[in-house]
Amino acid sequence: MLGPRPDLAAEQAREILKVAPGHAQALFLLASALRMQGEAREALPILETLVNALPNSADACTELGLARSGLGDTKGAIEALTQATRINGKHAQAWRALGDEKTLAGDEAGAGAAYARHIEASVKNPQLLEAAVALRENKLAIAERMLRGFLKINPTDVTAMRMLAEVAARLNRYEDAEKLLVRALELAPSFAAARNNYASILYRNSKPQAAVEQTNILLAKDPRNPGYRAIKAAALSLVGEYEEAVKTFEGLLKSHPDQPKAWMSYGHVLKTMGRQADSIAAYRRAIAQLPSLGEAYWSLANLKTFRFMPEDIAAMRKQLARSDLMDEDRFHFDFALGKALEDAGDYAPSFAHYEKANALRRKSLPYHADQTAMFSQRLKTAFSPAFFEARIGAGCPAPDPIFIVGLPRSGSTLIEQILSSHSQVEGTMELHDIGQMSRSLGPWNKKDAAVTYPEVLETLSPSRLKELGEEYLERTRIHRKLGRPFFIDKMPNNFLHAGFIHLILPNAKIIDARRHPLGCTFSCFKQHFARGQAFTYGLEDAGHYYADYVALMAHYDVVLPGRVHRVIYENMVADPEGETRRILEYCGLPFEETCLKFYENGRAVRTASSEQVRQPIFRDGVGQWHNYEPWLGPLKAALGPALSAYPDVPVF
C-alpha cells in the first residue's frame, strides 16, 4: 500500500531513479503509484520489464495483474495474478484480485476458490486459519461452528465476522450475513472487502437502493474498480433507474470489454427496456466470450419470441456433452434446449430437457410441499371472519397500491401492462416488500419460535397496523417515478398475504390472476426463475402448490367477500375489452382506450413475459400444455379437484 498520496510516491520514485536508474524497488514504487492514479497504461511497460527481471517476485506479478485489470485486460490480469499466487500461495492481495477477475470472467467456481484462499491468506490467528481452510473446502457446518465459537471469545473481530457472513451467504441466509457485515463495518468502516460483500448481499437480498449506496462509498475511493461498477449497474436496474444502469454498464464494458457476465446483465437491462435487438447482441457477446455460460443461452430463450438457429442447438448440445460443466450452466442449457426443441415441435426430447433441468435445479433449491400446505392452513385459521370484523377501520387508508397476485406465468404481466397503460396507474415490478415485512414480524414455519407469522397479527394494535401500511408505502416509494396516484405491485407470491395486505392497506386493490391449472403449472415447470419459486421444479410440487393457492384464495373469498377481483386468463384472451373494463371498474378507474393498446406502452418490463406483452394478445399460448399431455400424469394427480373444478373456459 502506498498510502493516500500516490502522486508523492511517484515523485519520490522518480527522484530515486535519477540517481539510480533501473532501481527495482523504485521502479515498482513508480509503477504502483501510476496505476493507483489511473495511469495503468504508463505503468504497464515498467511492470512488464520488472516481471521479466524479477520472475519470482509475487508483488511484481500482482501489480502487473492489477495494471492489466485497469486496462480491461481480464485474461492478462488472471494470467499475472495466477503466477503471483504460484510464487506465493499466501499472497492475500493476489488472491483477492484473482477472485475479482475470475468473477468478471464468469468463472464463479474459480472466483469462489480464490476468495477462499484470500481469506485463508489474510488471517493470522491459528483458529481463524483453521476455519478458513474449512470454508475453502466448503465444509460450512465446521466453519460456522469454529467461527461462532471464536466470536464468543472475540466479539469484535471483524475478519471472523466477514468469514461467518460468507458462510451465511453460501447457505442463502442473507439476513444473517447482512447483520454480520453491518456490525463489521460499524467496527471498521474502511474494511473495503467487507463493504463489497455487504453490497453484494444487499443486492441478492432485494435491497438494491442500499446496495447502490454501498457501491457509491466504495467507488468514491476506487472509482475504476470494475467489480464495484458491475454491482452498482445491476442494482440500479432493480430500482428502475434503467437509463443510469445502461450508462454504467456501457462505461464499464467500454473499459473492460472482456466480461461475459457483465454483457449478460447488460442484456437483461436492455430487454427490460424493450431494446430486444440490442439485448440479443449483448447476450451473443457474452456467449462469444464464454461459450459455457448456459445462462446467456437461457436469457435468449427467455425472450420467448426468440428462435434458436440449428447451429445454436448444436452449440448447446456440445456444451452439455462436457463432463466438467458446472451444474448451474448445465440446467440453464437444458432449459434453453427444452425451449428450442419445443419451438421446433420436438416435444419428447424437449420434455426430457425440461425434466433434466428441473431435477438438477431442485438439488440446490429443495422444496417441501407439506410446509406450504401447513402454512396455508395456518393462514386460513388465523384469518377468520371474526378476526377481520374486529379490525374494521384499522390500517393505513391510502388507496395507492394495486396488488396483482397468483402464480407466475398466469397472465399477471398482461394485466399489469393493461393497467399501467392507464393515465392514473404506474407499473413497477415484482416487489419483495410484503413478504419481507411479514417475515420481520415472525418466522413462517419454525414451530419452536415464540412468535410466528401470521399468529403474531392477533397481537398488533390498530395503530401498529396503520404503521405497517405506511411503512409499505415508504419502502416502495423509490419505485414510483411518474407521480401517478396508483401503482402496481406484481409479486405473485403475495396471494399468501392477501389477508395481511387487507389489514394494513384496507383500501388497496387485490387482483387474482388465474390461468388453467395445467397451462399455468407446466409453464412454470418450463421456466427457470432467477430466484425463489422452488415449487416450480417438480410437476407434483407445482400441482400441490396450485391446489393450495386455489384453496387459500377460496378462503379469502369467504372471509372477505368481494375483496379480491379474479381475472381468468383464458377469458382475457377471448374478450380483452370486456375483461379490461371489469378490471378498471373494480379499481374505480374510468375506461381509457390506451388500456386496449397496451402493446404500445413503452414502459420497462422485468418479467419473462416482457416481449410478449409488447405485442397484441395472441391465443397461441393458451393450450400449449396439450403438446406435453403424455407426460403430465403426476401433475394432474397432484392438482386433484383444482383441475376438475376449473371454470369452463375457451381453449384455442
Kindly tell me if the per-residue pLDDT of 609 is higher than 60.
no
Kindly tell me if the per-residue pLDDT of 205 is higher than 50.
yes
Q: Which CATH class is domain 1-122?
A: mainly alpha
Digit-coded pLDDT (tens) for 104-133: 887 878 888 898 888 888 888 888 999 999
Q: Are 577 and 596 in contact (CB under 8 A)?
A: yes
Place of cell 454501498: 214
Digit-coded pLDDT (tens) for 465-512: 999 999 999 999 989 989 999 999 999 999 999 999 999 999 999 999
pLDDT of residue 621: 62
Phi, psi of 298, rounded to the nearest 5 degrees: -65, -35
* Average pLDDT, integer, range 282-296: 96
User: Which residues on neighbouring strands pair with residue 328, listed in sequence order?
Assistant: none
Q: Which residue has the higher pLDDT, 5 or 189?
A: 189
- The residues spanned by each domain of the chain are 1-122, 369-644
**To 5 degrees, how large is the angle CA 75–CA 79–CA 80?**
120
Nearest alpha carbon to residue 374 among 444, 442, 452? 444
- Angstrom distance (rounded) from CA 170 to CA 363: 15
**Single-letter amino acid code for the residue at 125:** N
* Average pLDDT, integer, range 441-468: 90
pLDDT above 70 covers what percent of the chain? 95
Q: Is 402 helix (H, G, I), strand (E, B) or coil?
A: strand
- Angstrom distance (rounded) from CA 510 to CA 501: 9
* Average pLDDT, integer, range 170-186: 93
Confidence of residue 620 (pLDDT cuts 50, 70, 90): low
247: left (phi over 0), alpha (psi -120 to 50) or beta: alpha
Kindly tell me if the per-residue pLDDT of 610 is higher than 70.
no
Grid coordinates representing 226 are: 470494475
Q: Which residue has the higher pLDDT, 138 or 406?
A: 406
Q: Helix, strand, coil % (nearest 5) of the chain? A: 65, 5, 30
Question: From the DSSP assignment, how many helices (H) and strands (E) are in the chain?
Answer: 33, 5
Q: Are 535 and 545 in contact (CB under 8 A)?
A: yes
Q: Are 437 and 453 in contact (CB under 8 A)?
A: no
Q: Helix H segments across 321-365?
A: 327-343, 347-364
Nearest alpha carbon to residue 216 among 207, 116, 51, 225? 225
Digit-coded pLDDT (tens) for 382-391: 999 999 999 9
Confidence of residue 604 (pLDDT cuts 50, 70, 90): low
pLDDT of residue 617: 67
pLDDT of residue 1: 47
pLDDT of residue 600: 81
Confidence of residue 652 (pLDDT cuts 50, 70, 90): very low
Kindly tell me if the per-residue pLDDT of 461 is higher than 70.
yes
Q: What is the mean pLDDT of the chain?
A: 91
**To 5 degrees, how large is the angle CA 595–CA 513–CA 388?**
115
Kindly tell me if the per-residue pLDDT of 152 is higher than 80.
yes
Kindly tell me if the per-residue pLDDT of 647 is higher than 80.
no
* Average pLDDT, integer, range 268-275: 91
Digit-coded pLDDT (tens) for 502-542: 999 999 999 999 999 999 999 999 999 987 799 999 999 99
Digit-coded pLDDT (tens) for 8-41: 877 787 878 788 888 888 888 887 888 888 888 8
pLDDT of residue 531: 79
Kindly tell me if the per-residue pLDDT of 648 is higher than 60.
no
pLDDT of residue 116: 85
What does DSSP assign to residue 626? Answer: G
For the entire predicted model, the pTM comes to 0.84
Angle between helices 294-301 and 327-343 (to 10 degrees): 30
- Angstrom distance (rounded) from CA 188 to CA 195: 10
pLDDT of residue 429: 86
pLDDT of residue 649: 44
- Angstrom distance (rounded) from CA 77 to CA 81: 6
Kindly tell me if the per-residue pLDDT of 629 is higher than 50.
yes
> What dotted CATH number matches 369-644?
3.40.50.300
Kindly tell me if the per-residue pLDDT of 260 is higher than 60.
yes
Kindly tell me if the per-residue pLDDT of 276 is higher than 50.
yes
pLDDT of residue 76: 93
- Angstrom distance (rounded) from CA 608 to CA 414: 11
Kindly tell me if the per-residue pLDDT of 338 is higher than 90.
yes
pLDDT of residue 172: 84
Instruction: List strands edge to edge, sheet with 564-568.
Output: 425-429, 486-489, 401-406, 509-514, 564-568
- The span from the first CA to the last CA of the chain, in angstroms, equals 68
pLDDT of residue 605: 59
